[in-house]
Amino acid sequence: MILLKLIVGALGTNCYIFGSDTTKEVVIIDPGAQGNTIIKAIEDLGVKPIAVLLTHCHFDHTGKVGQIIRHFKIPLMYNRKELNSGGFTNFKNADKWLSEGDSIKIGEIELHILETPGHSPGGISFYSKDVKEFNGKKIDGIIFTGDLLFHRSIGRSDIGGGNQNQLFSSIKNKIMYNPELSDNFIIFPGHMGNSSIGEERKLNLFKRFFL
């Protein structure tokens, strides 16, 4: 597995470069700022970008989308519900729309899409069961949650088309009680540090609303 986290922009957004160490194919998740830094990191890794993926369309996650897709000549992929919500009318159309049940092949890794609205109308999360080790420890998989679920916290629901009831429902039904996921999945959120589903089940400050 290739996984590099870059913390970019004034709001400290996590931009991820994720992919296969076998084929060297990667996707760029949420290139929110510092486009030159992201490009240099990709070139230093010697990898082949195949797409830009967005968890949602807030500016701090999308600020350098244009620069990245033009530089590498790769497609942009996100959920059409973001655009259809009316809150992102000036944003670029996706080259491929992503919906629940879709998946993206990155070498030997399959990345699955979950629709997880609440922070924004078309928010999505990406998970893979093909990653079995992280930092020397055995795991069941990984999930990129955007601004839905953070380390011991949750995303805001009072901006950009957010909905608190939807947010708690997404965390509960798409993550905490999703039979495809386990407590031993590592969470890579849109801000702050990593966590795990099991840790959030025990220690998240808002757990009473989604368990």
Q: Which amino acid is at 69?
A: I
Give how many domains the chain has, as a whole number: 1
Helix-then-strand count for the chain, H and E? 6, 16
Taking residues 31-52, report their average pLDDT.
98
Distances (CA, A) of 143 to 26, 61, 159: 16, 17, 23
Note down the domain range covering 114: 2-89+97-209
pTM for the complete prediction?
0.97
Asked if pLDDT for residue 88 goes beyond 80, the answer is no
List pLDDT tens digits, range 106-145: 999 999 999 999 999 999 999 999 999 999 999 999 999 9
Q: What is the CATH number of the domain that holds 19?
A: 3.60.15.10
